[in-house]
Amino acid sequence: MRGGRPAGPPPHTEADSQVNITIITMNEELREILQAWLAAKVDEERFRHSLRVMELVPELAAAHGAAAGPLELAALVHDAARGMTGAGMLAAAEEWALPVREIDRSYPILLHGMLASEMARRELGISEGPVLSAVLYHTAGHPQMTLSDKLLFLADMIEPARKLPRSAELRRLAFTDVDRAMLLAIDINKEHLKVRGRPVDPVTLELELALSN
Ligand SMILES: [Fe+2]
Ligand SMILES: [Fe+2]
């Protein structure tokens, strides 16, 4: 796929979320299965980060009246593809017939949310829209993100070990005003990319525009 169209399948709606959240509950057994699955795919640092995000999402979900279960699952899965090399990410995306844009070819790391979502579907049999969309959109966002999707995106950035500029403000906004937090998160990400001479994913710019309107 070329141009600025969002990667991945169409977004799930809030209505989908309402249907699915009732059937997802994280329990000890499921947590152990998922942790073993993840531990085999990523390094210790990435594994610990995923656990910290998982521990944070119930707090964030409670602050906004969102369901914690799908987000805990999504948190454990979201970076599962980060253990792959860039070439491996591109090869997997092609093997699974996922949409790959020009920008993904230059920066395959942009594919890691979509790949993790696909891994969750293929390897764990997860089909719940709220889980898959939160994982899919955590990398660059999407103009039609649900509240739940935004909460994973923010939790990923405010987990305690992440040292980002303006993190105190981002953390405060994440608990009080999700859309303002998203705009700040985008600003922080854009600054980070600029310093590294990397382009901003067009989908992130579409999200920024949607949030500003
Ligand atoms: Fe990630
Ligand atoms: Fe992450």
So where are the chain's domains?
14-164
What is the distance in A from the centroid of ligand 1 to the CA of 21? 23
CA of 15 to the centre of ligand 2 (A): 26
Q: Which residues surround ligand 1, an ion (CB under 5 A)?
A: 79
**pTM for the whole structure:** 0.89
pLDDT recorded at residue 16:
41
140 CA distance to ligand 2 centroid (A)?
12
Helix (H) or strand (E) holding 188: helix 178-195
Residue that the structure tokens 């210790």 belong to: 44
**Ligand sitting nearest the alpha carbon of 109:** 1
Count Cβ atoms within 10 A of the Cβ of residue 35 and give its class: 0-12 exposed, 13-18 middle, 19 or more buried. Answer: middle
User: Measured between alpha carbons, how far is 123 from 133 in angstroms, rounded to an integer?
Assistant: 16
Between CA 159 and CA 46 the distance in angstroms is: 12
Give the pLDDT of residue 109.
97
Q: Token pair 């979502």 is at which residue?
A: 117
Q: Which fold has domain 14-164?
A: Hypothetical protein af1432 (1.10.3210)
- The rounded Å distance from CA 112 to ligand 1 centre is 7
Residue pointed to by tokens 């608990």:
175
Cα of 139 from ligand 1 centre, angstroms: 5
The pLDDT value recorded for residue 51 is: 98
**What pLDDT does 24 receive?**
62
**Which residues of the chain have a pLDDT value below 50?**
1-23
Q: What is the pLDDT of residues 27-47, one digit of tens each?
A: 888 889 899 999 999 999 999
Answer yes or no: are the C-beta atoms of 8 and 117 closer than 8 Å.
yes
**29 Cα: distance to centroid of ligand 2 (angstroms):** 23
Q: Is residue 51 packed enough to be buried (19+ CB in 10 Å), middle (13-18) or exposed (0-12)?
A: middle
Per-residue confidence (pLDDT) for residue 15, from 0 to 100 = 40
- The residues, any chain, with a CB within 8 Å of residue 38's CB and separated by 6 or more, are 47, 50, 76, 77, 80
Distance (Å) from CA 109 to ligand 1 centroid: 9
How much distance in Å is there from the Cα of 204 to the middle of ligand 2?
Answer: 16
